Every structure is written in structure tokens, then in C-alpha cells.
Structure 1
Amino acid sequence: MAYSLKAVLADPGAAADHLLHADTVYGVEQAAGRIGPGGAALLELTLRPLPALERENYPTERVRLVIRPDYTVHAFPLDSADRAFKHRNPPPLRDLCLQYPGDDAALRWIPEDGLEALITLVHRHLLYEEAWRRSGTWPAEDAPHGQPAHGTHPLRTAETQQEARRWARHPSPHQKRHPHL
């Protein structure tokens, strides 16, 4: 069962401890949590790369997550002033652009997925950013920035189309959309 965002908001320190000691998320080397302004949960994490990527000298990443009481999430890479990012929101926030909020829920993290899936999304995103810096190519289907002309951005690869069908979700009408990711 996923560690709920409600539990993270209630006790960010316990959530950080969970990430450090439960075998539910790969690569969490350090974690600290506290309550921030407006009741937001602030988590500061140190994430090590996968072993094969560590051998390729991928960096250990530090990130600050801000989870607001409305479940809006912002992920801020730390120690990143001298590095380029392909998918980062413009100032003033400069947080990571983790996903396109208009895409089908099968292709997005939603709060009901819990903390572990969120950390995995952020960690994967940071690894993809490093792969892009090294090769100039995003290592998965790359969602364009901005609003599509109609509906959602089209899925270009057969693999992503297949995964969207495989992981299809049909949220109930009362579930709230979380556009700030």
C-alpha cells in the first residue's frame, strides 16, 4: 500500500524516515522532512543513481519536494545552478516540469499513487535530464511544452500508446485534477 500524501502532510519527518528505511523506493541516501509555510510538507532528498548509471558517473542528486495541502507538488533540483534542464518550468518557480497535466491519467502520477511513486517519478526525471545533457536526446517519448491545440498531446510511439492502454485509469468524476506538476 502506498504511503499517502495525507500522511506526508501530517508528518513529513515520518515520511522521510519511511523513505530511508522501507525498501519501497530505490536510491534514497538521505531524507529529511518538515512542515513549511502554509502547512506544506517539505522533503529534502539525496538520490543516488542506478548502479549502471553510477558506473557512468551520473551524479547523486539532491532535490526538495514541496507538497502543498491541495496536493500540488513542486520538485526543485538542488545544486543545479550550473546545469541545463530540458524540462524545467520558467521563473519564478524553476521547478521540474514532471508531466503534462492534460495527459491521460495512465501516463501521469496522481496523488492517489502515493509518495513512493512520486519519488520514483522525480528520480527518473533527474536521471533523464542527465541523459539528455550527455546525449542531447531525451531517453523516452518526449512531451512538448505548452498547451496542445486540441485535447492532449498525441502519443507518437507505439510503445507509449501500448503503455497508455495497459495502465488506463478511469478516475471517478469527483477526483480533482492536479495541474501543477
Structure 2
Amino acid sequence: MLPWWREDVGAVLRMQASLKARHPGIEKRRSRRSLTYVLDLEVPCYETRRVTIVFGTRHTAAGARVFADGPACSRHRYEDGSLCMWHPDDPPELRWVPDRGLADLIEMARRHLFREAYWRETGVWLGPEVHLDGEGKGANG
């Protein structure tokens, strides 16, 4: 069985719409196991971060994993180091869906990275959040 991004080329093209215009330095890499996008992302008031977006063979388009270089200390990261930007049970308006395009996912990552950096400085998370311990309300990031 082919991964969604090999099977539905039209969906990939729609998802990438306006991506190069907004992020001209983005790199696209494709292998048998993944479709990956890599870019340097400016984070307001903080350092630019290298962001990697990975679509694996076992996930749907909505199952993108987003990674960033730099400090990994955060309660908003999964065990594999990917950013936890929303809770899986959040409604579609609080999480990324492929119809919004990759540019929207990148902007969500930018906001998340800003919140992480601010949290590391102040101990305050700007925005709604949910944790396994039940603390907080709403989306993770």
C-alpha cells in the first residue's frame, strides 16, 4: 500500500499551494519512507530555528510530525522530540488539517516555538494547553 503522499499527488500539490512564495528557502525531500520539508524559521524575539516537517508512511496527511533544532526542554514535546502543538482530541479549528496548507502548519510551528522559548524564560505558557495530568484546558499550543 502506498503512503497518502504518493497516492494522492493532487492533495500534496494543494497542500503546498503558495508555500514557495511564503517560504522560498524551503527544501522538499522525498524517499520511500517519508515526505519531508525543511526550512529555517524566524521566531519573533528569539533565534531562527531549523524546522523539519515529516509525513511518514504510516500516517495520514494530518499526521505530520514537526521537529525543531535548539533547546528541547519543553512539556510540549512528544517522546520522539516532535512538537506537541495541539491535543489529538481538539476540534479541527484548534489543530492543523491539510486543507489549510503547509504554510499554515509552519505558522503554527512558529507560534509554538515562540511559546516554548518564552516559557523557558518565564515559566509561563502563552496560550491554552492540555497535559496528561489533566492540567490546563484547550489545545497544547
Aligned partners of 2:24 and 2:114: how far apart in 1? 15
Q: Which residue of 1 aligns with 2:85?
A: 98
The residue type equivalent to 1:64 in the other structure is T
Residues 146 and 29 from structure 1, CA distance in 2 versus in 1: closer, same or farther, beyond 3 angstroms?
farther
Aligned partners of 1:59 and 1:121: how far apart in 2? 17
Residues 88 and 29 from structure 1, CA distance in 2 versus in 1: closer, same or farther, beyond 3 angstroms?
farther
Aligned partners of 1:147 and 1:6: how far apart in 2? 36
Q: Which residue of 2 aligns with 1:34?
A: 29
Q: Which residue of 2 aligns with 1:89?
A: 78
Aligned partners of 1:64 and 1:110: how far apart in 2? 17
Does the CA-based 8 Å contact 1:74-1:95 persist in structure 2?
yes
Aligned partners of 2:133 and 2:39: how far apart in 1? 31
Deviations 1:119-164 (A, max 9, x none): 11111111111111111101112x222386xxxx855xxxx9xxxx
**Structural RMSD (CA):** 2.8
**Identity among equivalent pairs (%):** 27
Aligned partners of 1:106 and 1:139: how far apart in 2? 18
Q: Which residue of 2 aligns with 1:134?
A: 121
The residue type equivalent to 2:19 in the other structure is L
Residues 113 and 147 from structure 1, CA distance in 2 versus in 1: closer, same or farther, beyond 3 angstroms?
farther
Aligned partners of 2:127 and 2:115: how far apart in 1? 8
Gaps of 5+ in 2: 1-9
Q: Which residue of 1 aligns with 2:38?
A: 44
| Secondary structure of 1:124's aligned partner | helix
- Whose Rg is larger? 1
Q: Which 4+ residue blocks in structure 1 deviate beyond 6 angstroms?
A: none
Does the CA-based 8 Å contact 2:43-2:113 persist in structure 1?
no
| Cα displacement (A) at 1:95 | 0.9
TM-score (norm 2): 0.74
Q: Which of 67, 80, 87 does residue 55 from structure 2 map onto?
A: 67
Residues 146 and 120 from structure 1, CA distance in 2 versus in 1: closer, same or farther, beyond 3 angstroms?
same
Q: Which residue of 2 aligns with 1:76?
A: 67
| Secondary structure of 2:127's aligned partner | coil
The residue type equivalent to 2:132 in the other structure is G
Residues 76 and 8 from structure 1, CA distance in 2 versus in 1: closer, same or farther, beyond 3 angstroms?
farther
Does the CA-based 8 Å contact 2:130-2:137 persist in structure 1?
no
Alignment size in residue pairs: 126
Q: Which residue of 2 aligns with 1:163?
A: none
Does the CA-based 8 Å contact 1:98-1:125 persist in structure 2?
yes
Residues 47 and 154 from structure 1, CA distance in 2 versus in 1: closer, same or farther, beyond 3 angstroms?
closer
